[in-house]
Amino acid sequence: MFNRDIEIEQRIEDFVARSNIPHLQVELWHQGQTFAQSYGYDLNPDVDVFEIGSVGKTFTASLLAVLDEQGVVSLQDKVSKYKPELAFADDITLFDLVTHTAGLPSYPFTGLILNVDKALREFSEADYVDALKRVKAPLKTGKVAYSNFGMALLGNLLAEHLGMSYEVAVKTYLLHPLGMNDTHVAAASYEQRRLATGHSGKGKPSEPFSWACFEPAGVWRSTTHDMMLLLRAQMGEQGEAWQTTLRRCSSPAFSDDKRKHMGLAWQIAHRDTLGMVAWHNGQTRGQKSVVMFAPEHDCALVMLSNKIPKLWHHFIPRYSIERHGLAVIEAVSN
C-alpha cells in the first residue's frame, strides 16, 4: 500500500517488542491511503477502545475554537468574566489556559503523594473547588508550563457557560459533527470486551482511569478510527469550515524564549523533511498514546497502546512512542 511498508512494519514491530507492549493499535493516513494494523503479544480482535489521556486536551481546545468562531466566547476573555470568584481570575485569559501559559500548577494536589492511583480515584468535585480556592494571585504568566489544572478549568468553565456537562458539550460541538460517535469519557459507555486493559511499566494490569473534574485534561476513551477523523478534519477532509476552525488549534499561537511552540493545546514541531508537525501525546495510569499530522504532506498517524513506559524509558529515545511516530511519518512522506 505504501512504498515503504516493510520498513514501517519492522520499525513498529521492533518498538513494540523492545517495549514489551501487549497491544498497540496504529492507523496511518497518507494522501488518500489508509493503513491500519495491530501489534503486540496479546492481541484480541474485539479490543479497539483505548484511554487516550492528554490527547483529549485537543478536544477541549477544539471546543474553545468552535465557540470562539461562533461568538459564544472569545479567546481573549478574562477568566473573571466566567469565574469572578477565583482570586487569579483577572490575571489570565482563556488563551492563556489553552496554551499552557497561565502559570497554574499542573496538578491540584499539595504535599507528597505516595499513592497516585488512590489520590486520583478519591479526588472529588469538592477537592477540585478547594484546589481552585488555594491558587492565589498574581500568577506568573507568559511562559509555557504544561498544566492539567489549567485545561480542566478551561473545559469546565466552557461547559458551565453552555449550561451542559463537559462531555455533552464536546460531543455536541465537535465529536458528533465530525462523526466521532465512538469516543466517550466513561468506560461504561462501551461493551467490556472492547476495552483495552492498561498495564504499568512493570506489566501489571491497571484499573480503568478516572479523575473527577479533570475530564477536560484527559479522561477520554477512543479508537484509532475516531481519532483519525479528527486529524483528517484538521487537514481539510471534513470541509473547509472545519479545516479553518481546527487549523487555528494546530497553528503556532505562542512561542517562548526556549523556542517551544504551542498551538491551542497542540504542540508544534518543525522538521526539515516535513515542515510543520502538530502532535499531542497522552498517558493514563496504564495506557499511552500519540497523535500527529504533517499537513504539508497530507499525512497523519494515530498510535494507541495499553502499556506505559517504565520510568527510565522516558529518557531513552528508542523507547519513545513519540519519536517512533515521527519516524513513521517521515518514512512514508519522503
10 Å Cβ neighbour count for 240? Answer: 9
pLDDT tens digits along 259-273: 578 999 999 999 988
Average pLDDT, stretch 297-321? 94
pLDDT number for residue 1: 44
Alpha carbons 191 and 189: distance in angstroms, whole number: 7
pLDDT number for residue 257: 66
pLDDT number for residue 7: 76
Strand partners for 304: 25, 289
Alpha carbons 304 and 171: distance in angstroms, whole number: 21
Instruction: Give the count of alpha carbons within 13 A of 198, CB side only.
Output: 23
Q: Given pLDDT bands bounded at 50, 70 and 90, which one contains residue 294? A: very high
Cα-only R_g, the chain: 19
pLDDT tens digits along 132-164: 999 999 999 989 999 999 999 999 999 999 999
pLDDT number for residue 279: 97
Q: Mean pLDDT across the chain, nearest whole number?
A: 94
Please tell me which of 2-6, 93-97, 231-235 the model is most confident about, judged by mean pLDDT: 93-97
- 319 pLDDT above the threshold of 50: yes
Alpha carbons 169 and 63: distance in angstroms, whole number: 8
- 330 pLDDT above the threshold of 70: yes
Q: How many residues does the chain have?
A: 334
Q: What dihedral angle (degrees, nearest 10) is formed by the CA atoms of 60, 63, 67, 73?
A: -10
Residues 52 and 220: beta-carbon distance below 8 Å: yes
Question: Which of 85-99, 105-119, 120-134, 150-164 is predicted least confidently?
Answer: 105-119
Residues 93 and 77: beta-carbon distance below 8 Å: yes
pLDDT tens digits along 179-204: 999 999 999 999 999 999 999 999 99
